[in-house]
Amino acid sequence: MKMIVLFGPQGSGNHLFSKIFALHLDVHGWKELLDPQIEGHYFRPHSTEPIAWYWTNIDKIDSSIMNGKEYAVTSISCPYMNKLNVAIPPVFNFMDKLKECNIEPIPVVIGRDRNILDIQQKRLRGGPTWGTMPQLIKWLDKMPFFISTELFFLYGKYYIKSLSQQLDFPIAWNDPQIEIMQKDDTNAKYIQYAEGGLADDLTKYFFEKAARGEIPYSKKIDLKK
């Protein structure tokens, strides 16, 4: 049995990847996020995640946490809210208990652009909290598998297919919902037009020169001339 343990900074994509990993019929996960008939399916508090209870009752973990499946996924943000108190998730104890139950934990860390996290966490939490994640990661026995919200929005189902292969974990990468999730790009509202700088000017300069056959691309250029 295998369980993906998703964790990442607040707002990095916990809900997004919880939905993606739960899509496959062979995986026990947060199915409520996938059902448009359920009120609040787009966003639900983590307390409603089917495995959430075990995060504060680790001693109760046994094989029933898998709900009869060979594969499961759970997620938690770092830090997270525990009864309105900010807390660091007990990732180490949680995974150790899974191992005792002959369940292989697969630690997977979610990444998102740091500037976006700064803006979002200042808006919702009063200040950035993503700095707790590097501190947590350094205490892991081995490096986790890293996944990226940006790579999903860029490559969509092909990125998800690669995750399934690399993690050796069933993911319904070709499900129509994957493309729907990709179109709902939550990064777009943070992106604004930026004026070009020196790098843009140099790129245009060399491209125009090369187009006229004046500069072979392989030739080194002396910028002092």
Residue 68 lies in a domain: yes
Provide the pLDDT for residue 42.
Answer: 58
Residue 91 lies in a domain: yes
List the end-to-end C-alpha distance of the chain, in Å, as a whole number: 64
- Evaluate whether 67 touches 50 at the Cβ level (below 8 Å): yes
Residue 212 lies in a domain: no
The amino acid occupying position 75 is S
Supply 78's token pair.
């770092």
Q: For residue 82, give its domain range.
A: 2-190
Residue 202 lies in a domain: no
Provide the pLDDT for residue 221.
Answer: 54
Tell me 184's DSSP state: S
Residue 209 lies in a domain: no
Supply 62's token pair.
């046994």
Nearest CA-CA partner of 81 in 53, 110, 107, 46:
46
Residue 10 lies in a domain: yes
Residue 219 lies in a domain: no
Nearest CA-CA partner of 70 in 44, 40, 104, 42:
104
Residue 65 lies in a domain: yes
Chain segment 21-41, per-residue pLDDT in tens: 999 999 999 998 887 655 545
pLDDT in tens, the chain (225 residues): 999 999 999 889 999 999 999 999 999 999 988 876 555 455 677 788 999 999 999 999 999 999 999 999 999 988 777 766 777 889 999 999 999 999 999 999 999 999 888 888 888 677 777 888 888 999 998 899 999 999 999 999 999 999 999 999 999 999 999 999 999 888 888 777 777 777 777 777 777 877 777 765 555 555 555
Provide the pLDDT for residue 223.
Answer: 53
174: domain CATH number is 3.40.50
Provide the pLDDT for residue 84.
Answer: 67
Number of domains in the chain: 1
